[in-house]
Amino acid sequence: MKITIPLKTLSTREIQKTFIIAGPCSVESEEQIMQTAAGLADKGIQVLRGGIWKPRTRPGSFEGMGIEALQWLKDAGNEYNLPVAVEVATPEHVEQCMKHGIDIIWIGARTTTNPFSVQILADSLKGVDIPILIKNPISPDIELWLGAFERVYNAGIKTLVAVHRGFTSHRKTAYRNVPNWRVPIELKGRIKGIPLLCDPSHISGKTELLQSVAQEAMDLLFDGIMIEVHNNPKAALSDAKQQITPQAFGELISSLKVKKPFSDDKEFYQHLSDLRKEIDRVDDKLIDLLAQRMHLSRQIGTVKRNLDVSNFQPGRWEEIVKSRTKAGVKKNLSAEFVLRIYQFIHEESIRQQEDMPD
């Protein structure tokens, strides 16, 4: 499926350089949002963000200040001449945002996950003429993310932006939400012209990882970032561990190196093309070897089938993981990388054995 969303520039300012949305996880008080905005005002951001209604995993935690905070956010935006952005999850939220002149709204990860909720929201967005940001669903399901774009697009919204905030993982990782970069990259390939932002705050979950995640997004040619900034992060009522001060934000932004997609240096292209030819040769060999390996797997499948033995042999799989990661590490490959490759290869071997005709 391929949908085409013509890129219209965001209504207020054009995306000329890295587009930055910054502000607290939640708007907590008039002073908090005004002070945060004051700290951000001279740091080149395009939009001030703030959560008004907070989707929390467990009940009983701070759920946002609600409607009165919309005005606080809008006032802070007016004071520093910044458009403001808010998360919406229900038609009532949309209505209140429109009443208060909110400039940009976003659909959060938990809402994108549920097509019923997205459709109800899309219906309530008919006739609304502001940019809509759609965060990825909590699972790395690209069709679900695309579906949310289609629903909102079909409601007549033409200025759409994707926000990558990482995915829930059953595995323990350094991240709060694993980045799984290939998913947002694929989305960008499937929706022509869609601007793509990265939210390093919800990917990282802690301040130490923010810089490297934001830099990775720049290296992958993301169009900008949405990041949580609080005037006093330690006292934040939500997501305290991942928020940074306006000053730390300034340092982070100036540390980012923005890569360019092309160069006009001819020698560079010659060098690139030589190396790519070598890569092409290596890839040809890799494909050949993979095909040979699958051929052997199918032969093993026949042997197992003749004796009614299961295709999956846990002992053999353990041995493969151990020996291949060890061999990979010796050649400077990361154990995680080798493990993932072998997970794919082994799954495919088993699938081919199962699919063999009798």
Nearest approach, Cβ of 166 to Mn ion (angstroms)? 12
User: Which residue of 5, 21, 25, 157 would you call a contact of ligand PEP, by CB under 6 A?
Assistant: 25
The radius of gyration of the chain's CA atoms, rounded to the nearest angstrom, is: 24
Residue with the closest Cβ to ligand PEP?
108
Nearest approach, Cβ of 133 to Mn ion (angstroms)? 14
Interface size with Mn ion, residues (CB under 5 A): 2
With contact defined as beta carbons under 8 Å apart, do 176 and 208 qualify? no
Q: Which does 103 bind (CB under 5 to 8 A by kind): Mn ion, ligand PEP, none?
A: none
Q: Which residues in 220-279 contact Mn ion (CB under 5 A)?
A: 239
For Mn ion, the closer CB: 28 or 239: 239
93 contacts: CB under 8 Å, gap ≥ 6: 52, 53, 86, 87
| 176 near ligand PEP, rule: CB under 6 A | no
Amino acid at 306: N
Interface size with ligand PEP, residues (CB under 6 A): 11
Distance (Å, rounded) from C-alpha 282 to C-alpha 288? 10
Segment interacting with ligand PEP, rule: CB under 6 A, options 103-111, 213-221, 252-260, 278-286: 103-111
Nearest approach, Cβ of 239 to Mn ion (angstroms)? 4
Nearest approach, Cβ of 104 to ligand PEP (angstroms)? 13
Distances in Å between the alpha carbon of 40 and those of 31, 80, 241, 314?
Answer: 14, 9, 19, 55
User: Which residue of 40, 69, 132, 135 would you call a contact of ligand PEP, by CB under 6 A?
Assistant: 135
Segment interacting with ligand PEP, rule: CB under 6 A, options 72-80, 105-113, 182-190, 282-290: 105-113
Residue with the closest Cβ to Mn ion?
25
Distances in Å between the alpha carbon of 216 and those of 8, 35, 60, 329?
Answer: 26, 30, 35, 23
Q: Which residues in 60-89 contact ligand PEP (CB under 6 A)?
A: 87
Q: Which does 97 bind (CB under 5 to 8 A by kind): ligand PEP, Mn ion, none?
A: none
307 contacts: CB under 8 Å, gap ≥ 6: none
Q: Which residues in 5-64 contact Mn ion (CB under 5 A)?
A: 25
Give phi and psi for 47, each to the nearest 5. -145, 140
Q: From the CB of residue 147, how many other CB atoms can be counted at a distance below 10 Å?
A: 18
138 contacts: CB under 8 Å, gap ≥ 6: 109, 110, 113, 167, 168, 177
| 103 near Mn ion, rule: CB under 5 A | no
Give phi and psi for 224, each to the nearest 5. 175, -175
Closest C-alpha among 257, 256, 261, 131 to residue 194: 131
Through-space distance between the first and last CA atoms of the chain, rounded to whole angstroms: 35
Segment interacting with ligand PEP, rule: CB under 6 A, options 70-78, 102-110, 285-293, 318-326: 102-110
Residues of the shown chain interacting with ligand PEP in the complex, contacts defined by CB under 6 A? 25, 51, 55, 87, 108-110, 135, 165, 199, 202
